[in-house]
């Protein structure tokens, strides 16, 4: 399964199997693929469930993650589904959900809001419950969460934030969802989408160091506590690129970067790693509204005790704005107050914000400052971007510089 494509099997794609990445890339690269379960290790041999022993010089663990099953009474009731990445479970769940009218989604993260977008497009009546005060709480600031909520509500979805689920009950096909604010919701199906946990059981079996919340412990070269065994992706620990603390983040793009790093360092440490830690670059789309976020949010910067300056800009992604297909862009940048480096960005708008967010990711990874970005040379085109005068990344940067001058004057 392509994990980030899973919400789309409920509407935009015709089947679960349309979201499968074929093995072609493995075969084309002449890699042998063995399907089987690994149960333990004996030195430089792994032991398969059928007793077979496979020797290795170097071993890379890419065991992925498993859905979190919350400890809520009634969780095992029929019609309450935990969104997984397992093909057979997904096919079963999809077939059952398709016949229902009312669906309640527990979790307002990326997967939850994308499920709501797809299920409401498929004609379902959808309610999302998010325990935190706003949607996408770990990735964007509340005002950006509010814009996503507004779009979901315009699609006909009901969004409830700041409330948890205390129990699932009811008889027969009807499910009664008890909320911790005392209210109760009736629904036909529940999808639990509150995140994943690293699959660390293999590390446990192999005697490697791991943390049950953050994953199999790895160093800068993705080596586990045994130097010939590497771990990458959702099963491996990640560190925050700003503070070095463990950070629970599970993104295909982070996993890919780790995979390339492990590959480069497998047989000889090549010291190609120039960026220690996870930036966290996300993108999503709800209705016609796309969102990209990278680096720190204002909430996170404040929580870490950082001094920062916020730069903001609103613009249109075409010029002149009368051209067809124009969408409004809203951008927020977080700059470090003293070093002037870019720490984070959140951008809302049309489809172009996906790559615009990646451009901002490059800027953060290269530790670019407001002064550099102010005079950046970018290309523009009437049908593809904002005007040179209205280019949001530059204008939000100018906004931050002006606030910073003002702060200096007041100090």
Cβ-based nearer residue to its own copies, 173 or 272: 272
H-run or E-run covering 322: none
Cβ-based nearer residue to its own copies, 201 or 380: 380
Site for its own copies in 320-379 (CB under 8 A): 320, 322-324, 351-359, 361-363, 365-366, 368, 371-372, 374-379
Stretch that binds its own copies, among 69-77, 202-210, 297-305, 316-324 (CB under 8 A): 316-324
CB of 183 to its own copies, least distance (A): 33
Site for its own copies in 261-290 (CB under 8 A): 261, 264, 272-275, 278-279, 281-285, 290
CB of 160 to its own copies, least distance (A): 25
Number of residues in contact with its own copies under rule CB under 8 A: 77
119 burial type by CB count under 10 A (0-12 exposed, 13-18 middle, 19+ buried): buried
Residue with tokens 């996906």: 354
DSSP 240: B
CB of 43 to its own copies, least distance (A): 31
Cβ-based nearer residue to its own copies, 127 or 278: 278
Contact 144, 292 (CB under 8 A): no
Distance CA 344, CA 364 (A): 7
CB of 90 to its own copies, least distance (A): 14
What is the layout of strands, in order, in the sheet containing 53-55?
38-42, 45-48, 53-55
Cβ-based nearer residue to its own copies, 157 or 290: 290
CB of 103 to its own copies, least distance (A): 20
Cβ-based nearer residue to its own copies, 134 or 352: 352
Stretch that binds its own copies, among 40-48, 89-97, 299-307, 388-396 (CB under 8 A): 388-396
CB of 319 to its own copies, least distance (A): 6
Cβ-based nearer residue to its own copies, 97 or 255: 255
Contact 393, 359 (CB under 8 A): yes
Encode burial over 65-85: b for 16+ CB neighbours within 10 A, e otherwise.
bbbeeeebebbeeebbbbbbb
Distance CA 329, CA 13 (A): 28
Contact 181, 229 (CB under 8 A): no
Cβ-based nearer residue to its own copies, 79 or 215: 215
CB of 324 to its own copies, least distance (A): 6
Cβ-based nearer residue to its own copies, 9 or 93: 9
CB of 310 to its own copies, least distance (A): 20
Contacts of 30 (CB under 8 A, 6+ apart): none
Distance CA 251, CA 68 (A): 16
Site for its own copies in 231-260 (CB under 8 A): 251-257, 260
Distance CA 128, CA 303 (A): 27
x/- binding map, residues 20-39, to its own copies, per CB under 8 A?
xx---x--------------
Cβ-based nearer residue to its own copies, 128 or 289: 289
Cβ-based nearer residue to its own copies, 210 or 282: 282
Q: Which residues pair with 189 in a beta bridge?
A: 103
Strands (E), 268-388: 281-286, 289-295, 308-316, 328-336, 342-349
Among 79, 142, 292, 311, binds its own copies (CB under 8 A): 292
Per CB under 8 A, does 8 bind its own copies? yes
Among 391, 396, 399, 400, binds its own copies (CB under 8 A): 391
Three-state DSSP class for residue 359: helix
Cβ-based nearer residue to its own copies, 224 or 278: 278
CB of 311 to its own copies, least distance (A): 15
Distance CA 255, CA 64 (A): 9
Contacts of 402 (CB under 8 A, 6+ apart): none
Site for its own copies in 48-67 (CB under 8 A): none
Stretch that binds its own copies, among 9-17, 56-64, 146-154, 176-184 (CB under 8 A): 9-17
211 burial type by CB count under 10 A (0-12 exposed, 13-18 middle, 19+ buried): middle
φ/ψ bin of 370: left (φ > 0), alpha (ψ from -120 to 50), beta (otherwise): alpha
33, two tokens: 């693929």
């Amino acid at each position: 399964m392509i994990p980030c494509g899973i919400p789309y099997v409920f509407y935009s794609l015709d089947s679960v199997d349309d979201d499968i990445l074929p093995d072609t890339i493995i075969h084309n690269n002449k890699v042998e693929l063995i399907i089987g379960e690994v149960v333990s290790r004996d030195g430089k041999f792994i032991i398969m469930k059928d007793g077979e022993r496979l020797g290795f010089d170097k071993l890379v663990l890419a065991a992925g993650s498993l859905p979190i099953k919350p400890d809520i009474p009634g969780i095992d009731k029929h019609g309450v589904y935990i969104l997984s990445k397992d093909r057979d479970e997904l096919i079963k769940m999809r077939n059952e959900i398709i016949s229902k009218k009312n669906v309640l989604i527990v979790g307002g993260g990326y997967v939850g809001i994308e499920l709501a977008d797809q299920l409401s497009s498929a004609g379902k009546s959808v309610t999302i419950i998010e325990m935190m005060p706003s949607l996408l709480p770990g990735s964007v600031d509340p005002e950006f969460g509010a814009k996503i909520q507004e779009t979901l509500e315009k699609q006909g979805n009901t969004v409830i934030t700041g409330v948890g689920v205390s129990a699932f009950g009811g008889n027969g096909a009807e499910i009664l969802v008890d909320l911790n604010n005392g209210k109760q919701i009736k629904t036909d199906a529940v999808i639990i989408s509150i995140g994943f946990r690293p699959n660390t059981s293999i590390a446990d079996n192999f005697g490697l160091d791991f943390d049950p919340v953050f994953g199999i412990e790895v160093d800068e070269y993705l080596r586990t506590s045994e130097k010939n065994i590497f771990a990458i992706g959702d099963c491996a620990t990640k560190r925050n690129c700003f503070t070095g603390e463990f950070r629970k983040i599970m993104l295909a793009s982070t996993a890919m970067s780790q995979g390339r790093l492990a590959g480069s360092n497998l047989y000889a440490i090549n010291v190609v790693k120039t960026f220690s830690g996870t930036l966290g670059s996300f993108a999503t789309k709800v209705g016609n509204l796309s969102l990209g976020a990278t680096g720190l949010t204002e909430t996170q910067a404040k929580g870490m005790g950082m001094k920062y300056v916020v730069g903001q800009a609103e613009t249109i992604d075409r010029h002149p704005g009368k051209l067809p297909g124009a969408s409004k862009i809203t951008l927020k940048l977080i700059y470090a107050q003293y070093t002037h480096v870019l720490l984070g960005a959140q951008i809302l708008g049309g489809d172009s914000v996906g790559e615009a967010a990646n451009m901002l990711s490059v800027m953060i990874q290269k530790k670019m400052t407001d002064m550099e970005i102010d005079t950046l040379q970018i290309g523009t085109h009437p049908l593809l971007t904002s005007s040179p005068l209205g280019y949001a990344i530059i204008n939000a940067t100018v906004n931050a510089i002006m606030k910073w001058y003002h702060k200096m004057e007041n100090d």
